Structure 1
Amino acid sequence: MNIIISVNSAWNVWNFRKPLVEALIADGHSVTVLAPEDDAVAKLQSIGCQIRRLEMNVKGLNPAQDLHLIFRMRRALRELWPDIVLSFTIKNNIFGAFAAKSAGIPFVPNVTGLGTAFLSGGVLERVAVALYKAAFRNLPIVFFQNADDRDLFLQFGIVTESRARLLPGSGIDLDRFPPAAYPVTDEGPVFLMIARLLRDKGVLEYVEAARRVKSVHPQVRFQLLGAAGAQNRSAIDRDTVRQWEEEGVIEYLGTVDDVRPVIEAAHCVVLPSYREGAPRTLIEAAAMARPLITTDVPGCRAVVEDGRTGFLCEVRSADSLVATCEKFLRLGFAERAAMGRAGRAKMENEYDQRIVVGAYRSAIQSLASNCA
């Protein structure tokens, strides 16, 4: 089959959908990535993907621009004429659904997150719900990365229960992220946060917690890994990060091509996000047998069993994050290591990438049979 994967960046496909892409190509399908181009294009081509550039404003909320996005996507679909479109990320899901319907092409979205518009509670939320209802109407399959998002879509009447399919995020390559021995150190434990530097990821709460915990435990280290100044309304600029470094509150690690050595050196991975689809960094850290601290919100709480594989804290609360870090610091070495091993077991049982690949293979086969 000729399959298009539509997403808001080629980087997203390389980092989160690569196992799916490789499986589809191994099955004999032709895969074209329809996305804005970036540094990941050459990598995707090296594994057999074709690339079709998609011009889009990733972070804007301009209705006129988004209307043009439908036309651009429809033009691309009519030129490529895929048998099916697999879509990820908000704009590609909504406007891609309109484009695919108008071209008569089967469309399978994956709700990887809801965005601030959907959760604003005002006019923007009503507009977002209306768009989703119109876009997703009569779609045969809609994938979700956590039960909270699925249940919310069911509550709003956007999808029916028979069409909603639940996945364990994007899955995890358990061989690529093997369990690592828990680090022994004479210095203080290392807390690590891996995320784009966005306010919505809880970066400000993490920095404030670091400031307060280090005032009592100066030997404890707080590391921050991720891109600053991202194309997002809640992005944190590099100058702000530099001030935190000068203050001695955090160690900024920038960005890396391979997070595994950084995770291996950490004692606890933290993500105080306001909401997630399925937090990849927590899944990778748990696979490597590292305890987790994250917020009790959709997406995040699905990955952590509170008190067993990590701890949950309140969202948007530096006070709660400080208390949770203190709770972790009171654990002994054996307790922390056991918590990490329990996290690895959870990933093996629930988050193996083969579950995700199998679900997509089943969906493709089902749609192919219906179209035959």
Structure 2
Amino acid sequence: MKILILTNYANGLYLFRKELLLKFLEEGHEVAVAVPQDENCRKIGKLGCRMEYVRLERRGSNPVHDLKLFLSYRRLLKKEKPDLVLTYTIKPNIYGGLACRLYKIPYVMNITGLGTAIENKGLLSRVLLILYRWAAGKAQRVFFQNERNRIFMQGHGVAKDNSALLPGSGVNLAEHPFREYPSEENGICFLAVIRIMKDKGIMEFLNAAEKIRTRLPEKSVQFVLAGEYEEETRDQYEPLIHKLCESGIITYLGHIDYVEKVMSESHVIIHPSYHEGLSNVLLEAAACGRPVLATNVNGCKETFIEGKTGFSFDKEDTDALVKAVEKILSLTEAERKEMGKEARNFVAAHFDRQLVLAAYEKELERVRVK
């Protein structure tokens, strides 16, 4: 069977869906991946997938460019004639889905998150929802990663009869093993692993770090940031982050492909995101055995147990984040350590990546028997 995968970013596919690609390949399927070309594509190629490169602006809203993407997908489908197409993220979902619908090729859509354009409402949001309605209408299955997103989209006529819920991308429990909680003798390290952009809560994290370091000078607390800049807003955030690093308020590690090591060296993970499909960062933090502080939004709150494996706080609210930091600092080292152990148990029971592989295998079987 030939399987074609459409997505917007090679590294995301590799980090969170590598096991799915390997499973398909081990079963003897031919796997082709259509993605914008970058240095991460070689990782997917090394697994044994065949690469097809398409031009795709992840954050652009130029209708001419989007039309060209749709036409690129049409040409690709005509050339490849796949038995099944898997799509991830907004533009591949919409334009890939529409192209598959046109050629009557079975396709499975994964709505990994609604995205800023839809969350912010307005004219663009209405247009995208109309396109999603058409694109998802003939999908074999539309996977959602949290119930709130499914309810929202179905309320706008999207995937009313063909939806299912996944535990996010799941987490590879072998690649993200439990790590013993590190000693707090030299202080407590709070780590944020986020793309540096407004909707990931970057300003709340930076402002909270500054406030905590001012309010609690007697506490040995470090704030560490890992993540890449979005080029459109780099000029907005880079000078501020540089200034806070120079003053010792935070440590910035830049982009890190594999965060397991830095998580294992940290004590608490902070995730101040405004919206998520289901946060991979929080799943990996729990797998590592670390308590979390995260916004009380769908896509985050499903990944931890309030008061037992983490604490929530309101999004877009620096003071709420500060209070959450103070709350976890008020616990003993033993209590924070126990929260981490409970986090591992919770994610192992509910978010094992094998659950995701089983869901896709079921969709593959539906194609086989047709």
- Which category of TM-score, normalised to the shorter sequence, fits these structures? over 0.9
The question of whether the paired residues in 2 share the 8 Å contact of 1:69 and 1:95 is answered with: yes
The match for 2:226 is: 225
- Cα pair 1:11 1:38 within 8 Å, conserved: no
Structural mapping, 1:1-372, within 5 Å: 1-160=1-160, 162-218=161-217, 219-228=220-229, 230-231=230-231, 237-370=237-370
Paired with 1:209 and 1:273, the residues of 2 have a C-alpha distance of 14
Gaps of 5+ in 1: none
Deviation at 1:322, TM superposition (A): 0.2
CA drift at 1:237: 4.2
Deviation at 1:298, TM superposition (A): 1.6
1:235: Cα distance to partner?
Answer: 8.1
Return the offset for 1:234. 8.4
Provide the secondary structure at the position in 1 that maps to 2:4.
Answer: strand
The 3-state SS of whatever aligns with 1:254 is coil
The CA distance in 2 between the partners of 1:282 and 1:204, in whole Å, is: 19
Q: What one-letter code is carried by the residue in structure 2 that aligns with 1:125?
A: S
Q: TM-score, normalised by structure 2?
A: 0.96
Amino acid at match of 1:217: L
Quote the offset at 1:38 in angstroms. 1.3
Q: What SS does the corresponding residue of 2:64 show, helix, strand or coil?
A: helix
Rounded to whole Å, the distance in 2 between the matches of 1:235 and 1:38 is 22
Q: CA deviation at 1:200?
A: 0.8
Q: Is the Cα–Cα contact under 8 Å of residues 83 and 367 in structure 2 kept in the other structure?
A: no
| Aligned CA distance change for structure 1 residues 94 and 39 (closer, same or farther; 3 Å) | same
Maintained 8 Å contact 2:184/2:333: no
Contact 1:199 1:236 in 2 (8 A): no
The 1:234–1:136 alpha-carbon spacing in structure 2 relative to 1, beyond 3 Å, is farther
* TM-score (norm: length of structure 1): 0.96
State whether residues 309 and 340 of structure 1, in contact with CA within 8 Å, keep that contact through their aligned partners in structure 2. yes
Deviations, residues 140-161 of structure 1 (Å, cap 9, x unaligned): 210111111111112222112x
Residue range with higher mean Cα deviation, 173-182 or 256-265: 256-265
Distance between the aligned counterparts of 1:78 and 1:237, measured in 2? 43
Deviations 1:36-66 (A, max 9, x none): 0111221111111110001111110111211
Which stretches in structure 2 are left out of the alignment for 5+ residues? none
Structure 2: distance between partners of 1:261 and 1:31: 31
Q: In structure 2, what is the Cα distance between the partners aligned to 1:140 and 1:45?
A: 27
- Tell whether the 8 Å contact from 1:198 to 1:236 is kept in structure 2 after alignment: no
CA distance in 1, matches of 2:164, 2:367: 14
Identical columns (%): 36
Distance 1:110 1:257 in 2: 23
Pair 117,209 (structure 1): closer, same or farther in 2 beyond 3 Å: same
Deviation sequence 1:210-244 (CA, Å, 0-9, x none): 0111112232100000112x245688543332122
Note if contact 1:59-1:232 (Cα within 8 Å) is conserved in structure 2. no
Tell me the SS of whatever aligns to 1:45: helix
